[in-house]
Amino acid sequence: MYKLKRVLLLPAAFPLPCGPIYKDFMSDTIAAHTFINTPAGLESFAEECKDIKWMGFDTEFIGEKRYFTLLCLIQISCEHGYYLLDPIAVKDLTPFLEILEDPSVIKITHAGDNDYRLLYQQFGTVPKNIFDTQVAAGFIGHRYPTSFAKLVEAEVGDRLGKGYAVTDWTQRPMSDKQVKYALNDVIYLRKLYDTITAQLEKNGRLSWATEECNLMGEDEYYYRNPNHEFLNSNLARSSRTKERVFLIRLYEWRRATAEEKNYSKEMILQSKVIGQLVRGVRGGKEAMLESRRLPNRTIKRYGDMFMDMYNKPATEEELAVAKSVQRPSQDDEEDDMLVELLYLIMKYRANEANISHSLVMPRNAIRRMKQDAAVRQSILGSGWRGELLGEDFLNWVRNFDDLTMKIEGGKIALMAD
């Protein structure tokens, strides 16, 4: 572990108690920091930071053309300064991960969802005591999601320089521009925490923001149904059972092959080809070879395998998954109107409370709640959402199947039979 020689000097007007100093990083000056690229350096960091009360962090990674995302850099801020941890050089990140799991240390991130998911997938780490500035900002009137640069400018008043995200984060040594960009992502986190927390305390929303942030501290948050691609596919809803089973198998083959080769799934089979395959496979290999919409090279290489996938009898498990997706029905048009009306009511109540409606629930959440009990529980089981939306809204969603809409005398009425 060694200290870089370039030191940041700031005027006395900028000090922040119990933390590093903040400034406008339009300049070329790089903040003093410690670069950690050895196990001994990481142990030294852990010892130095054993008494910290908060830690801000961010990650840089490369996911393009890979199945397994490559973690390239971890940026850290805390009471003792700034650190850049090199996970390419240091494979065992246990001392850092233990801080993430320590409930006595507040973890401050911006859009930390991707960072936490990556660390969960690669190390099984479940963080505790989380404050995400992007999530929390949605409770004080900011749009959700909002970019880090926009939030810093709005809440701190500093304008960050142009981004430097598209770069080779495996490069060693890193350039000054890379170091500056990386540090920018953590230098402002404590200041954002202070300014946003003060506003949350003022508007009485701190407990709501804390509840939402700490969802990322539960194992269930990181669970993903292994058939999620199929279950979220519009193609599945419009297909027959046999084609659905083929689609399930196709998605699983693509995923498993990508994992084995450590390629992106798109490199194995492009998503835009999948629909044509599902529609063309029942015509046989020759028909697929003659199709102008299917890559001839792909069919020559995998055509026999695709036919085997299609013709092999379905297992009970595959049939259960295939039949769990509902086909479009005549009731869908009325359901669409109900979903849209409920969405507008949610949006109205969120705007009344000066909370980003996108944070409350995405547009498709109500329909997903109808189809998926787990999604319904995750939304309806949220305490702050229940407080915001009201018991009447929760009852409408719980009884969606029996919900009807009437318009009489210029008034719209929702009734659950």
pLDDT, tens only, 88-102: 999 999 999 999 999
Decide: 233 and 227 in contact? Cβ < 8 Å. no
User: How far apart (Å, rounded) are the C-alpha atoms in residues 225 and 164?
Assistant: 34
Whether the predicted pLDDT of 27 surpasses 60? no
pLDDT per residue as tens digits for the range 320-360: 999 998 776 655 788 888 889 999 999 999 999 999 999 99
Beta carbons of 53 and 190 less than 8 angstroms apart: no
What rounded mean pLDDT belongs to the chain? 90
DSSP code, position 26: T
Task: Answer yes or no: is pLDDT of 12 > 60.
Answer: no
Listed residue (35, 117, 149, 127) closest to 81, CA to CA: 35
**How distant is the alpha carbon of residue 134 from its chain centre?**
12
Give pLDDT, residue 209. Answer: 98
Contacts of 219 (CB under 8 A, 6+ apart): 126
pLDDT at 134: 98
Placement of tokens 């350039």 in the chain: 175
pTM for the full predicted model:
0.89
Report the chain's C-alpha Rg in angstroms: 25
Looking up tokens 């240091």, which residue turns up? 90
| Contacts of 127 by beta carbon, 8 Å cutoff, 6+ apart | 100, 101, 107, 116, 119, 216, 217
Return the pLDDT at 402: 87
Cross-sheet strand order for the sheet of 54-62: 2-3, 34-36, 81-85, 70-78, 54-62, 106-109, 130-132
Q: Cis (ω within 30 of 0) for the bond into 145?
A: yes
Largest interatomic CA distance in the chain: 76
Q: Residue 373: which pLDDT band, with cuts at 50, 70 and 90? A: low
- What confidence score (pLDDT) does residue 11 get? 31
3-class secondary-structure state, position 256:
helix
117-131, 191-205, 219-233: least confident range: 219-233
pLDDT tens-place string over residues 388-407: 999 999 888 888 888 888 88
How wide is the angle at C-alpha 270 spanned by C-alphas 264 and 274, nearest 5°?
130
Read off the pLDDT of residues 300-331 as tens digits, 9 standing for 90 and up: 999 999 999 999 999 999 999 999 987 766 55
Average pLDDT on 129-150 reads 97
* Share of residues in the chain with pLDDT > 90 (%): 75
Main-chain phi, psi angles of 78, to 5 degrees? -165, -170
What pLDDT score was predicted for residue 13? 32
DSSP string, 289-346: HH-TTS-HHHHHHHHHHHHHHHHSPPPHHHHHHHHTSPPP-TTHHHHHHHHHHHHHHH
- Are the C-beta atoms of residues 90 and 41 closer than 8 Å to each other? yes
Distances (CA, A) of 109 to 148, 150, 159, 189, 234: 10, 15, 19, 7, 34
